[in-house]
Amino acid sequence: MKKEVSRILSILGFLLFFGLVLSSEFRLMLALAMEYVFFPLSSLKFYITVFLMALLTGLYSNLIQKYTVDYKRMKEIQKRVSEYQKEYMEAVKQKNQFKLKQLEKRSEEIRMLQSELMSMQFKPMSYTFLVSIPIWAWLWEKAYFSYQHVKFGTTTEFFKLNDSLFYITTPFWGTIHVSEIHAIFPWWILWYMLCSIAVSQLIKKLLKVGV
């Protein structure tokens, strides 16, 4: 039963991810649902909201990793696979056919270990998607609609937006809208990634994730 629930949650997580990427209507639907949850944050500067969301997703993802990943088992598998690959490469270089035949007998076992390792890595990712994808959709749509209004005068009935909250004064680019493109990405995405990396590393150390 536990495995079935885990599988369903994993599938749901990846469905949310592909829905976000492939369907603007689905992304908007998620954003509107999250607006009901996070509407108290609507009066904050958008960059502060982004930081809070990075903090929330960082905490959630690290808790997921801490309690769903057996790091002792993961390190054991990584070590065994690495040793096998090293032995195999040495046998190939030395053209040691006897050793290669011995290693070939273990190839199925190694493939199973690699499959287990991949599952251990993907499971927490899919769980994290369940929270992070709706949050991302919400941030994306709010920033997008504000920018459309500022740039083109386009209005929206989906969100009540105060465009002044979406501006920030930066050290390098001056006062900009958070959706303006800088270094390939909209500024708010760069800010989210920076906050997420910093917060996740701090939380990882505090929770001793991976130890």
SS3 content of the chain, % helix, strand, coil (to 5): 80, 5, 15
Both tokens of 60, joined, read 């959630």
| 158-162, 197-201, 206-210, range with greatest mean pLDDT | 197-201
Flag whether pLDDT at 4 surpasses 80. Answer: no
pLDDT (average), residues 25-42: 91
The whole-angstrom distance between residue 135's C-alpha and the CA centroid of its chain comes to: 11
Q: What DSSP character marks residue 164? A: G
One-character DSSP codes across 5-50: HHHHHHHHHHHHHHHHHH-HHHHHHHHHHHHHHHGGGGGS-HHHHH
Q: Model confidence at 137, in pLDDT bands (50, 70, 90)?
A: very high
* Residue ranges covered by each domain of the chain: 2-68+124-207
